[in-house]
A and B are shown apart, each in its own frame.
Chain A
Amino acid sequence: AQSVTQPDIHITVSEGASLELRCNYSYGATPYLFWYVQSPGQGLQLLLKYFSGDTLVQGIKGFEAEFKRSQSSFNLRKPSVHWSDAAEYFCAVGGNNNNDMRFGAGTRLTVKP
């Protein structure tokens, strides 16, 4: 079964600084990969997803992620963080079965003024 690791439980960045959130997955074939964001008291919102094709994926709110098969990674990036980006971020991997989406434990992002 596939799995997802988000190595960083909590990250703090200054507003305006760049951001990279790490995600590593384990899956035998080409996975479906997702990044979700969860603001306090809210449900999960999809930021971006990768299924095939261009390995650099653009999402909403200025986020992007790059699929690197050789490293089994799908890191999320943003060039300049805004205070409103403070939230929890989840990476998820899905495969060929309908019930096999797996989520990472999440990375909580704090943005310093």
Chain B
Amino acid sequence: EAQVTQNPRYLITVTGKKLTVTCSQNMNHEYMSWYRQDPGLGLRQIYYSMNVEVTDKGDVPEGYKVSRKEKRNFPLILESPSPNQTSLYFCASRGAGRAHTQYFGPGTRLTVL
């Protein structure tokens, strides 16, 4: 089954404690991205990757890092989480062309105390 998986689905942590949210897709997609979803703001892109070792900033990259060492994986790293990063995070992937459908993971609800 074609899917995008994220782990963990729920995470409560404290300010400053480094964390990683993993994302994996089994569709051999070139393009992957991370979004955060906040009430009244919709989804905003954090980072995206066009292919292995190619990443770039989206609209709200501050406080986040990503890496793309393998095509299927695109982890999101919060080196020093802060309460304003409490949000719902989605990973997504699609094929190389812009006309391709973007598939979303189930989301990770992060709370930073």
A contacts, CB < 8 Å to B: 4, 6, 9, 32, 34, 36, 41-46, 49, 51, 90, 92, 94, 96, 98-99, 101, 103-106
Q: Which 10 pairs across A and B sit closest by C-beta, in order of nearness?
A: A43-B104, A103-B42, A103-B43, A44-B104, A105-B42, A43-B106, A99-B48, A46-B101, A104-B42, A51-B99
- New A-B pairs, 9, CB < 8 Å, besides A9-B40, A44-B92, A99-B58: A32-B99, A42-B107, A43-B4, A43-B105, A43-B106, A90-B43, A94-B98, A105-B41, A105-B42
Q: Point out the residues of chain B lying under 8 angstroms from A105, CB to CB.
A: 40-42
Question: Is B62 among interface residues, defined by CB-CB distance under 8 A?
Answer: no
When A and B form their complex, what is the total count of cross-chain residue pairs whose Cβ atoms lie within 8 Å?
51
* Chain B contact surface mostly: strand
